[in-house]
Amino acid sequence: KAGVTQTPRYLIKTRGQQVTLSCSPISGHRSVSWYQQTPGQGLQFLFEYFSETQRNKGNFPGRFSGRQFSNSRSEMNVSTLELGDSALYLCASSLDASGSYEQYFGPGTRLTVT
């Protein structure tokens, strides 16, 4: 079974631009979560989608948004990029959102904002 895939793997953007990251979960997984990982803040939860509905959201500004499609693929968008948005963005999928199911992580998208 193919793992979680994220595209692109690397991205360089300038301040003020917007960016869209894509995540394809493991086949059959309906829950997709997004995380931001930085050296200073560690792993921070962005949001979680289940069956196209946002079920949970972390403490990030409205510039960060996401969506999930009917095939469970998910995208996240960051508008008006800031230097502090430079990070590794990780996507994780799970069978469902009950909490007992482990999350499977993709390799991440490394975003650099200049």
Partner 1 sequence: AQSVTQLGSHVSVSEGALVLLRCNYSSSVPPYLFWYVQYPNQGLQLLLKYTSAATLVKGINGFEAEFKKSETSFHLTKPSAHMSDAAEYFCAVSVINDMRFGAGTRLTVKP
* Minimal distance, residue 16 CB to partner 1, in Å: 28
Q: For the purposes of burial, counting CB atoms within 10 Å of the CB of 18, is it exposed (0-12), middle (13-18) or buried (19 or more)?
A: exposed
Stretch that binds partner 1, among 14-22, 28-36, 61-69, 77-85 (CB under 8 A): 28-36
- Of 33 and 68, the one with the shorter C-beta distance to partner 1 is 33
Instruction: Report the distance separating Cα 40 and Cα 11, nearest Å.
Output: 20
Instruction: Report the distance separating Cα 80 and Cα 39, nearest Å.
Output: 22
Question: Using the rule CB under 8 A, is 59 a contact of partner 1?
Answer: no
Instruction: Report the distance separating Cα 21 and Cα 55, nearest Å.
Output: 19
Question: Using the rule CB under 8 A, is 97 a contact of partner 1?
Answer: yes
For partner 1, the binding residue among 92, 93, 111, 113 (CB under 8 A) is 92
Question: Using the rule CB under 8 A, is 105 a contact of partner 1?
Answer: yes
